[in-house]
Structure 1
Amino acid sequence: MNRQERLLQIHKLLDEIDTRLEDGAVLIVEGKKDRESLLELGIRDSIMVVSQMPLLDFSEAVCRSTRDVILLTDWDRGGDRMTSLLSRYIRSLGIIPDCRLRGMLRSLVKKEIKDVESLHKYVMHLEANIR
């Protein structure tokens, strides 16, 4: 896949995320810089950051606010572990979180970047090199 196709696919996924957020979904990321990167990419602010709160308490808070949860953690071992735990906790509360978008973004960028925080910079780099 060339850079232009990769960029188009990333924008499609970001648009899908933004549309879901507009319809009431919540996007979960690991840190403040991840959130900032997505906001800079135009994603609306329905983003929850996993905080110092224990993951089970965080999961309960998320499930009280929505029935549509998107997990977008980093593409490293820690992100995999966090996705697994959050997914298990959220499922135990009766909601099936969406991890599909994380997997799709990961497959598009994993050779280039390893975290959500770098996504904005990566997209800007792709756009600059296409023009």
Structure 2
Amino acid sequence: MRDVEETLEDLEDLLQDLQERQENSVILIEGKKDRAALGALGIEGEMVQVQDARGIFGVAEDLSGCGKEAIILTDWDRKGGQLAELLRNALKANGVKYDDTIRARLSMLAKKEIKDIESLPSFISFLLACRERGGQQGARFPPP
């Protein structure tokens, strides 16, 4: 595991980037649990579940029609990676500007410990607890 303090600082920066996003940008997520996890971390604003009745292309068309931009925030497991690729293609085809750098940075920071957005709050709590205990090296998430 990377240094606990470094990881926490990087995660805080990413969350701040999400909080300070432009008003015309929408966070594209996979499901309700992702929305709840982001809400628990103080991330508010418009979020769209991409696996709804409209389908991925329908979501991209709607964003294009509204002139909105997208932040792709799917999980970083295999399914989430495939979904992110489909989203990039659909958004590009509809002329929608998108950002997938936050997802990539999250994946790099947490890939060894967690694989999805819904686990972020408990992962951050775990890191905070490690920091309280003096940055315990070798601690595993989730704790045994």
Give the 3 Å change call, closer, same or farther, for CA 130–66 of structure 1 in structure 2: farther
| CA distance in 2 between partners of 1:110 and 1:62 (Å) | 29
Identity percentage of aligned residues = 34
Unaligned runs of 5+ in 2: 133-144
Give, in whole Å, the separation in 2 of the partners of 1:66 and 1:127: 39
Task: After the TM superposition, list the runs of 4 or more consecutive aligned residues in structure 1 that deviate by more than 6 angstroms.
Answer: none
Q: Distance in 2 between matches of 1:96 and 1:46?
A: 16
**Corresponding residue for 1:45?**
45
Matched, 1:104 2:119: no
Matched, 1:32 2:37: no
Larger C-alpha radius of gyration, 1 or 2? 2
Deviation at 1:63, TM superposition (A): 2.6
Q: Is the 8 A contact 1:39 1:45 kept in 2?
A: no
Root mean square deviation of aligned Cα: 1.3
Q: Tell me if the contact between 1:29 and 1:35 (Cα under 8 Å) persists in the aligned partners.
A: yes
* Distance apart, 1:24 and its partner CA: 2.5
Kindly indicate which of the two structures has a greater share of residues assigned to helix. Answer: 1
- Normalised to the residue count of structure 2, the TM-score between the two structures is 0.84
Match of 1:73, SS?
Answer: coil
Question: How many residue pairs end up in the alignment?
Answer: 130
Q: Retained in 2: the 8 A contact 1:74–1:116?
A: yes
1:92 aligned partner: 93
Give, in whole Å, the separation in 2 of the partners of 1:20 and 1:13: 11
1:70 and 1:120 map into 2 onto residues whose CA distance is: 19
2:72 maps to a residue whose letter is L
How far apart are the structure 1 equivalents of 2:12 and 2:122? 14
Give the whole-Å Cα distance in 1 for the aligned partners of 2:131 and 2:121: 16
User: What is the DSSP-based 3-state SS (H/G/I as helix, E as strand, rest coil) of the residue aligned with 2:99?
Assistant: coil
- Equivalent residue runs for 1:14-93 within 5 Å: 14-21=15-22, 23-50=23-50, 51-93=52-94
Question: Unaligned stretches of 5+ in structure 1?
Answer: none
Q: Distance in 2 between matches of 1:24 and 1:55?
A: 19
Counterparts of 1:63 and 1:124 in 2: how far apart (Å)? 37
